[in-house]
Amino acid sequence: MLYWAIVCLVIAIIAGVLGFGGIAGTAAGIAKVLFFIFLVLLVISLIANAVRGRGPKI
């Protein structure tokens, strides 16, 4: 999911440089939403692993 957020961010940057403001704004919004979903899932995963007594895999 973080990969797709980064892809949308790159698309937004490229569209912004080329002058496509609407597409850039939409892609940036999608990247922001995906990033926050990724953060929520990361926190849930870390809490679930802590509750089960497992440490993170290194």
Residue-level pLDDT, tens digit, the chain, 58 residues: 778 888 888 888 898 888 888 888 888 888 889 889 999 999 998 898 888 876 666 6
Residue 57 covered by a domain: no
Residue 6 covered by a domain: yes
Residue 42 covered by a domain: yes
Residue 25 covered by a domain: yes
Task: Show the domain range for 16.
Answer: 2-50
Q: Which DSSP symbol is given to 19? A: T
Residue 58 covered by a domain: no
Rg (CA), the chain: 16
pLDDT on residue 25: 87
Residue 22 covered by a domain: yes
pLDDT on residue 20: 87
Residue 45 covered by a domain: yes
Residue 17 covered by a domain: yes
- Tell me the two tokens of residue 57: 């895999």
pTM for the full model?
Answer: 0.70
Q: How many domains does the chain have?
A: 1
